[in-house]
Structure 1
Amino acid sequence: MNHINLDREILKLIEEQPEISEKDIARTLSVSEELVKVRLAHLHDIRKKILIMGNGHNGHHAIKKALEAENYNVVNASDNSSALETVNAERPDLVLLDTAFLNTDGFEICKQLKANPRCCWVSVMMMSERNKTEDSVKAFKSGADDYVAEPFNPLEFKARVGMVLRRSQI
Structure 2
Amino acid sequence: MAEMQASVLVVEDEPAQREIISYNLESEGFRVIQAEDGNEALLLIKEEEPDLILLDWMLPGTSGIEICRRIKLNPSLRMIPVIMLSARSEEVDRVRGLETGADDYICKPYSLVEMIARVKAHLRRSRAASVGERLTYDDIMLDAETHKVFRGENELKLGPTEFRLLTTFMEKPGRVWSREQLLDRVWGREIYVDTRTVDVHIGRLRKALIRHGGEDPIRTVRGAGYALG
What TM bracket, shorter-length normalisation?
0.5 to 0.7
CA distance in 2, matches of 1:50, 1:135: 24
- Judged with a 3 Å threshold, the aligned counterparts in structure 2 of structure 1 residues 137 and 80 are, in CA distance, closer, same or farther, namely closer
1:135 paired to 2:93:
yes
Partner of 2:191: none
State the percentage of identical aligned residues: 36
Q: Which moved more, 1:143-152 or 1:81-90?
A: 81-90
CA distance in 1, matches of 2:17, 2:36: 17
Partner of 1:85: 43
CA distance in 1, matches of 2:108, 2:15: 12
Q: Unpaired segments of 5 or more residues in structure 1?
A: 1-45
1:110 paired to 2:64:
no
1:88·1:118 contact (CA, 8 Å) conserved in 2? no
**Deviation digits for residues 30-55 of structure 1, max 9, x if unmatched?**
xxxxxxxxxxxxxxxx4100001121
1:157 paired to 2:115:
yes
1:64 paired to 2:22:
yes
Give secondary structure in 2 for the equivalent of 1:104.
Answer: coil
Give secondary structure in 1 for the equivalent of 2:84.
Answer: strand
Note the C-alpha offset of 1:79: 4.5
Q: Unpaired segments of 5 or more residues in structure 2?
A: 130-229
Name the amino acid aligned to 1:156: E
- Higher fraction of strand: 2
Give secondary structure in 2 for the equivalent of 1:135.
Answer: helix
CA distance in 1, matches of 2:15, 2:39: 19
Note the C-alpha offset of 1:88: 1.3
Matches within 5 A, 1:9-20: none
Partner of 1:76: 34
**Structure with higher RCO (Cα < 8 A, 6+ apart):** 1
1:84·1:119 contact (CA, 8 Å) conserved in 2? no
Name the amino acid aligned to 2:65: F
Moved over 6 A (4+): none
CA distance in 2, matches of 1:135, 1:64: 25
Name the amino acid aligned to 1:117: P
- Judged with a 3 Å threshold, the aligned counterparts in structure 2 of structure 1 residues 69 and 100 are, in CA distance, closer, same or farther, namely same
**Deviation digits for residues 52-95 of structure 1, max 9, x if unmatched?**
11213422211111111100001102659554332110110001
Matches within 5 A, 1:22-41: none
- Judged with a 3 Å threshold, the aligned counterparts in structure 2 of structure 1 residues 81 and 154 are, in CA distance, closer, same or farther, namely closer
Note the C-alpha offset of 1:165: 0.8
- Higher fraction of helix: 1
Partner of 1:99: 57
Alpha carbon RMSD of aligned pairs, Å?
2.0
